[in-house]
């Protein structure tokens, strides 16, 4: 698994095999603070969560099992438009209700937005946690012909998470350890962590 740093557009990139990783994933800090943001990432935005082709198939398969976890307006949207829709920029995405909240989202008694898919997963009903794009956020992955680029995505709704991360001194990539391992495997994460610790002095 060859690695080396490379200069990017105004910042540095870490290269692990065919993955080009922004060093912002090491240098920036991030820990979600749902009490402050109320799960705004599931509500704000112009489209739903990006999906890959395999996830499109998974959502169609698991929908009957997760339907009872979803809000009535989410169910209505899914049954009208399908378990996914298509966005001009991102391709396959989850449906959204009234150009806002994700159709798969839930809202608890404290007004915090969560994921119905993840709730079903936590209950052992399904073995699919949630869209990997959601699990990886604020990392955004862009695929090119010969490599993938992993970048840190800045969004105003995540300011409480940035503040929380700085307070706890947790780098983005470490907060997303489980998601990175899910996507790329344990070896990839360990190599990234070694680079972060030795070259970037991550704590």
Task: Categorise residue 99: left if φ over 0, alpha if ψ from -120 to 50, beta otherwise.
Answer: left
Percentage of residues in the chain having pLDDT higher than 90: 78
Split at pLDDT 50, 70, 90, the class of 10 is very low
Split at pLDDT 50, 70, 90, the class of 11 is low
Domains of the chain by residue range? 19-197
The per-residue pLDDT for range 23-75, each reduced to its tens digit, is 999 999 999 998 889 888 898 878 899 999 999 999 999 999 999 999 999 99
Q: Worst-scoring range by mean pLDDT, 30-44, 52-66, 102-116, 136-150?
A: 30-44
Strand partners, 141: 150
Pick from 150, 48, 45: nearest CA to 90 = 48
Split at pLDDT 50, 70, 90, the class of 99 is confident
Whether 106 shows a pLDDT value over 90: the answer reads yes
**pLDDT reported for residue 201:** 64
Pick from 22, 13, 48, 40: nearest CA to 152 = 22
Q: How far is Cα 63 from Cα 47, in angstroms, rounded to an integer?
A: 20
Q: Is 82 exposed, middle or buried (0-12, 13-18, 19+ CB in 10 A)?
A: middle
| Helix and strand numbers, DSSP H then E, in the chain | 10, 9
Whether 2 shows a pLDDT value over 60: the answer reads no
pTM given for the model: 0.88
Split at pLDDT 50, 70, 90, the class of 7 is very low
Whether 20 shows a pLDDT value over 70: the answer reads yes
More confident residue, 5 or 203: 203
The per-residue pLDDT for range 164-196, each reduced to its tens digit, is 999 999 999 999 999 999 999 999 999 999 999
Percentage of residues in the chain having pLDDT higher than 70: 93
Average pLDDT taken over every residue of the chain: 91
**pLDDT reported for residue 102:** 96
**pLDDT reported for residue 9:** 41
**pLDDT reported for residue 200:** 65
Q: Is 88 exposed, middle or buried (0-12, 13-18, 19+ CB in 10 A)?
A: exposed
């Amino acid at each position: 698994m060859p690695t080396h740093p490379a200069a990017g557009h105004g910042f540095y990139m870490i290269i692990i095999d065919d993955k080009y990783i922004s060093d912002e994933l090491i240098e920036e800090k991030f820990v979600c603070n749902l009490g402050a943001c109320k799960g705004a990432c599931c509500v704000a935005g112009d489209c739903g969560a990006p999906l890959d082709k395999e996830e499109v198939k998974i959502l169609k398969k698991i929908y009957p099992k997760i339907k009872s976890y979803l809000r009535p307006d989410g169910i209505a949207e899914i049954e009208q438009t399908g378990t996914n829709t298509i966005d001009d920029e991102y391709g396959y995405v989850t449906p959204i209700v009234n150009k806002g909240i994700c159709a798969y989202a839930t809202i608890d008694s404290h007004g915090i937005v969560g994921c119905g898919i993840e709730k079903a997963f936590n209950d052992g009903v399904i073995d699919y946690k949630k869209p990997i794009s959601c699990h990886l956020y604020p990392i955004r992955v862009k695929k090119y012909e010969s490599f993938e680029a992993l970048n840190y995505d800045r969004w105003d709704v995540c300011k409480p998470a940035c503040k929380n991360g700085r307070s706890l001194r947790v780098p983005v990539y470490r907060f997303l350890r489980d998601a990175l391992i899910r996507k790329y495997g344990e070896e990839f994460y360990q190599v990234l962590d070694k680079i972060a610790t030795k070259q970037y002095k991550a704590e």
